[in-house]
Structure 1
Amino acid sequence: MSADSSLTVERDRRVVERPERTLYADAYYAESGEATDRPVVAFVYGGAWETGARGQFARWALDAASEGFVAVELSYRLSDEATFPAQIRDVRAGLAWARENAESFGGDPDRLAAVGHSAGAHLAVLSALAPEGEFGDDSPVRTRPDSVVGISGPYAFDGDDEDGVTERFLGGTPEEVPHRYEAAQPVNHVSGGAPPTLLLHGEEDEVVPAESSEGLAEAMAAAGDEAEVRTYPEADHVFLHSSYWYPRVREDAFSFLRESLN
């Protein structure tokens, strides 16, 4: 249970078995009788695809539950466990699980959003832009979210990979696995028909430049998609978790989710 006794937190809900490990989700929701019509928000943590865990979005999830959403924190295999497309398959399995179990938490399975930060933003947005089944995910349940929020995400790979993060994630260089580099970039899946998309970015992000969000938003707008980008002066890569920025970023994200899932 959370500090607010009206909120329930169910941890370690089994989602799917993978050869490397079992993946779990945490669910956050308000106790409200028989309500089964609340929008569902799935949070996807960041960490360069090689670190991170459920709990990074706990503050967000608790506040989301307090404000009338059902919130779930998903997990996925990291790049030292499995290379792409394992991560997007895991996130899509988590989104399918969230739809399948939404009503048990008081949620509406037909109103599901994905929210991610950094590598999690990449996976959340990729799940929204790429067609169903694109990565060998064969869920009978719809996995594409109905809206998506990406925060500080890398949506195109510009070849600057001095620390080898992208190479470890994709399992090789662009010359070795060109098909993975092509498939893993969300911008390459822009084709129209995407769900409503909000991209948030700090203008002083030295990990992933704000141009990443701006470029994707421009590409999506050109394809006729509903995409909005907002930047925050003097904000860095992890601004969404700072006490200074959090109230504003949360309100921006939650207002968008209420409208797009209405």
Structure 2
Amino acid sequence: MGPEHAASAAAPAAALSATPYNAATTYAKLVKAYPFIKIADTVTNAGTSTIGGIGYARRGAHLLQLDLYLPARAGRNPGPSAAVVLVHGGGWRSGERANMAPLAARLAARGIAAAVIDYRLADEARYPAAIHDVKAALRWLRANSAAHGIDPQRIAVAGGSAGGQIASLAGVTNGMPTFDPDAAGNAVSSAAQAVINIDGLSDFTSAAARANEDDPHKKPSAAGFWFGGSYADAAQLWREASPTFYVNRRTPPMLFIGSAQARFAVGRAEMVDKMTAAGVATDVVMLPDSPHSFWLFEPWIDPTADAIAAFLHAHLPTTTRPAP
């Protein structure tokens, strides 16, 4: 890690406490404007199996964990399934892996294995630690794919809100040491074959993003705390963490799922244009009249799962190629 990341290695012990971000706290904020919403459940279909509390990486005393949701294996030889690593949101400083469990359960019901993961939040370790953790989760899932009926050549990464930005950055930076310090000499790849960004930023540097993420009245803002400095103080990191700047012809296929809240679409149109120009498959699915964090609630969680499943089934076809 270069000197530009010296301030990002760990957050100060006296960091301000973050407001919890989960379905219950978000429901309380949204229910007056959306009285019809319901917190999505995690009921699994018959045959779907779950394995909870699997350690996938150790960071000092912290064992990062994931929960696996595995689809039913119908028929005598159904073959390995596609899989997706799911990254929760919470402003880089809050949130919990359980937030993505309802989506994981629905993806498993649609034939896609899902891993909901912990990662180090900003109070524990600042940017780019979360990206390192997601890369480690991708590598763990690939290394253990045979044991869980997963195709190592069909592993995607997805996330919501801050998790959408983290997942996008992890997905578009394959092999770059800044984002994957364990890549050198490792026989197991952390590459993602597809990326799903659910209402996450694509460009921190744009004026529209900085209006919220670099607001001087927030001392600091969520992004400023994660980066260890405002845009004026750490502009290189704000740019480095913006997925839009990594698009090239080798970028994996990418799906954007968006709410009706324009704030969270910043950089998306420009990134889609870059991907289209590079010949990379991309799609945008919008959910009208929806709030941010829609994937935590009915009636939006099933359309979200449908869109993800359709995209992955289209862009991660069955393969017998060896693992990368």
Whether these two folds match at TM > 0.5 is yes
C-alpha separation in 2, matches of 1:34 and 1:168: 49
Give the superposition deviation at 1:131: 3.2
The answer on 1:173 being equivalent to 2:214 is no
2:240 is the alignment partner of 1:215? no
Letter matched to residue 168 of structure 1:
F
**1:43-93 per-position Cα deviation (integer Å, ceiling 9, x unaligned):** 111111111111111111112222212111122100111111101001100
Structure 1 gap ranges (5+): none
- Any idea what SS the aligned residue of 1:11 has? strand
SS at the partner of 1:78? Answer: coil
Task: Show CA shifts across 1:172-205 (max 9, x none).
Answer: 12333333222111111122211111111112x1
Paired residue for 1:21, among 62, 87, 98? 62
Query: Structure 1 residues 14 and 130 mapped into 2: Cα distance closer, same or farther (>3 Å)?
Result: same
Q: TM-score, normalised by structure 2?
A: 0.75
Of 187-196 and 35-44, the range deviating more from structure 2:
35-44
CA distance in 2, matches of 1:167, 1:20: 26
Aligned counterparts of 1:120 and 1:225: Cα–Cα separation in 2:
22
Q: 1:8: which partner in 2? A: 49
Q: For 1:147, which of 181, 189, 194 is the aligned residue?
A: 194
Output the TM-score relative to the length of structure 1. Answer: 0.91
**Structure 1 residue 190 and structure 2 residue 247: aligned?**
yes
Post-superposition shift, 1:118? 0.7
Residues in 2 aligned to 1:2 and 1:209: alpha-carbon distance in whole angstroms: 29
CA shift at 1:15, angstroms?
Answer: 0.7
SS of corresponding position for 1:200:
strand
Q: Please, what is the CA RMSD of the aligned residues?
A: 2.0
Paired residue type of 1:233: P
Q: Which residue of 2 aligns with 1:122?
A: 165
Asked which structure has the greater CA Rg, the reply is 2
d(CA) in 2 for partners of 1:117, 1:143 = 20
Name the SS for the 1:230 alignment partner: strand
| Aligned residue number for residue 76 of structure 1 | 119
Match of 2:106 among 42, 58, 63: 63
- Structure 2 residue aligned with 1:47: 90
Which residue number corresponds to residue 259 of structure 2?
202
Q: Report which structure shows greater RCO (CA 8 Å, sep ≥6).
A: 2
Answer with 126-135 or 2-11: which moved more: 2-11
Q: Structure 1 residues 81 and 34 mapped into 2: Cα distance closer, same or farther (>3 Å)? A: farther
Aligned pairs, how many?
260
CA distance in 2, matches of 1:31, 1:39: 13
Shift of residue 211, structure 1, vs aligned partner: 4.0
Gaps of 5+ in 2: 1-41, 318-324
The one-letter amino acid paired with 1:220 is M
Q: Give the drift of 1:148.
A: 1.1
Between the aligned partners of 1:17 and 1:169, the Cα distance in structure 2 is 21
User: Is the 2:52–2:67 contact (alpha carbons within 8 Å) kept by the matching residues of 1?
Assistant: yes
Q: Which amino acid aligns with 2:229?
A: G
Residue of structure 1 equivalent to 2:149 = 106
Please say if residues 36 and 105 of structure 1, whose CA atoms lie closer than 8 Å, have aligned partners that are also in contact. no
> Cα distance 1:176–1:13, how it changes in 2: closer, same or farther (>3 A)?
same
C-alpha displacement at 1:249, in angstroms? 2.1
Query: Which residue in 2 is equivalent to 1:257?
Result: 312
